[in-house]
Amino acid sequence: MGEIKSHRVGIIMNGVTGRMGTNQHLIRSICAIRKQGGVKISDGEVIMPEALLVGRNEAKLAHLAAETGVEKWTTDLGAALADRNYTVYFDAQTTNLRAEAVKKAIAAGKHVYCEKPTATTTTAAYELYTLAKKAGVKNGVVQDKLWLPGLVKLKCLIDSGFFGRILSVRGEFGYWVFEGDLQTPQRPSWNYRKEDGGGIMVDMLCHWRYVLDNTFGTVKAVSCLGAIHLPKRWDENGKPYEVTSDDAAYATFELEGGIVAQFNSSWCVRVRRDDLLTIQVDGTKGSAVATLRDCRVQPGGATPRCVWNPDIDNPVDLWAGWMMVPNTQSYDNAFKIQWELFLRHVVKGEPFRWTLLEGAKGVQLAEKGLESWAKRAWVTLPELPA
């Protein structure tokens, strides 16, 4: 057996001391890729990522580095960007800090991969794309839900023609995030402060944009109502604060091809459904309900005959007429899958369509959702030029 060629890729990972950065990007993606022996290109070629952790808190960085076996960390972003051994910059900071850091990375000639939202305004997010394009650096944005097993199965159904003509899409997302007075909240307090880049529209409508665009059809217009259902919460230090950003959003989207999509997103809902995210798709020939990992279908020929009669117990078991879509492949971590695709893009130049332009589209939908809420009207989404 010949010698294996290993492509080392140094990655500056900024802001990974947070929950998502630590768990999904560092531990379950980069560390997992290293543990498996790198990204395999062929029997004789692999890509091996090497992380440099960057953050503002020395104690957190030192602890995370020790926990994960990462050798290098620093609080000096400028020094990290000046290091030629690291050619990729990754950003998982809070939203309001991201754009300026990404600009610095682009100016330093780094390839850029970052979490969404990529900025707090469409103008700022689109500027990141144009700067990266002008600089000639490879760039991408995290769009993890596209590789969730449930959505992969749903996309396969669409591609096979299972639904016939798709009529509508209904998404339900959310769970109860504890206020912080009696139980520790599951999300950081900045999520609920507009001044810190918080808000469920800014967070989740970015997700729904790429899910809808890549799975069903381009979003053309939005009508959205936001809400601050819980105006008072308690922060990480147990101090009460006023909630200034939306904690729930009720949106309707018009998609190309006449498809209507509705997504409810809420951090103030108690779950009585199959999962924290469910997406129901109804078509002329059949329907499906996807969760994070599963997908159930009801073909048109197996649709029960329902008759409205509130005077008797429903004779139809509405849960029974759905069949589970089987697992036909193994499903890796969704974040890790996209990381591997991006690393292949950086090293081998393989196609990667989830660029900073797609990130700007997500920010645009969030911004237009907020505009719709303020105007109480439908808002059209203008096309962002490539």
Give just the sign of the alpha carbon dihedral 121, 124, 125, 126. Answer: positive
The reported pLDDT for the residue numbered 3 is: 84
State the chain's mean pLDDT as an integer.
Answer: 96
Residue 262 domain-assigned (yes or no): yes
Whether residues 160 and 64 fall in one domain: no
Whether residues 151 and 134 fall in one domain: no
Site of tokens 């029960």: 304
Token duo for residue 386: 């490539």
Mean pLDDT, residues 91-107 taken together: 95
Alpha-carbon distance 381 to 386, whole Å?
A: 15
Q: Count CA atoms closer than 13 A to 155's CA, side-chain side.
A: 15
Predicted structure pTM score:
0.94
Q: Taking every pair of C-alpha atoms in the chain, what is the biggest distance, in angstroms?
A: 76
* 168 in Cβ contact with 259 (< 8 Å): yes
Whether residues 317 and 341 fall in one domain: no
Whether residues 342 and 320 fall in one domain: no
Give the CATH number, domain containing residue 216: 3.30.360.10
DSSP string, 241-308: EE--S-SEEEEEEEEGGG-EEEEEEESB----SSSSEEEEEEESSEEEEE-SS-EEEEEGGG------
Residue 221 domain-assigned (yes or no): yes
Token duo for residue 241: 């604060």
Residue 207 domain-assigned (yes or no): yes
Whether residues 126 and 179 fall in one domain: no
Task: Give one word for 180, left, alpha or beta, with left for phi > 0 and alpha for psi -120 to 50.
Answer: left
* 228 in Cβ contact with 275 (< 8 Å): no
| Domain assignment of residue 229, given as a range | 145-329+364-379
Rg, Å, the chain Cα set? 22
Residue 172 domain-assigned (yes or no): yes
List, for residues 233-261, the tens digit of each pLDDT value. 999 999 999 999 999 999 999 999 999 99
Confidence of residue 377 (pLDDT cuts 50, 70, 90): very high
Whether residues 136 and 188 fall in one domain: no
Q: Is the pLDDT of residue 4 over 90?
A: no
Site of tokens 């292949």: 344
Whether residues 310 and 229 fall in one domain: yes
Give the CATH number, domain containing residue 120: 3.40.50.720
Alpha-carbon distance 376 to 370, whole Å?
A: 10
Whether residues 183 and 302 fall in one domain: yes
E strands in 115-165 = 139-141
Whether residues 162 and 95 fall in one domain: no
Residue 268, judged by CB atoms within 10 A of its CB (0-12, 13-18, 19+), counts as middle
* 80 in Cβ contact with 58 (< 8 Å): no
Report the amino acid identity of residue 127.
E
Q: Count CA atoms closer than 13 A to 321's CA, side-chain side.
A: 15
Alpha-carbon distance 278 to 261, whole Å?
A: 13
Q: Is the pLDDT of residue 2 over 80?
A: no
Whether residues 110 and 152 fall in one domain: no
Q: Who's near 94: CB < 8 A, 6+ residues apart? A: 15, 18, 190, 196, 197
- What is the distance of C-alpha 296 from the center of its chain? 23
List, for residues 265-277, the tens digit of each pLDDT value. 999 999 999 999 9
* 99 in Cβ contact with 206 (< 8 Å): no
Residue 47 domain-assigned (yes or no): yes
List, for residues 112-164, the tens digit of each pLDDT value. 999 999 998 999 999 999 999 999 999 999 999 999 999 999 999 999 999 99
Residue 193 domain-assigned (yes or no): yes
List, for residues 52-77, the tens digit of each pLDDT value. 999 999 999 999 999 999 999 999 99
Residue 386 domain-assigned (yes or no): no
Q: Is the pLDDT of residue 311 over 90?
A: yes
- Give the total number of structural domains in the chain: 2
Mean pLDDT, residues 166-195 taken together: 96
Q: Who's near 269: CB < 8 A, 6+ residues apart? A: 174, 175, 176, 248
Whether residues 223 and 351 fall in one domain: no
List, for residues 323-342, the tens digit of each pLDDT value. 999 998 999 999 999 999 99
Q: Is the pLDDT of residue 1 over 90?
A: no
Nearest of 107, 255, 102 to residue 168 by alpha carbon: 255
Whether residues 91 and 153 fall in one domain: no
Token duo for residue 5: 């060629």
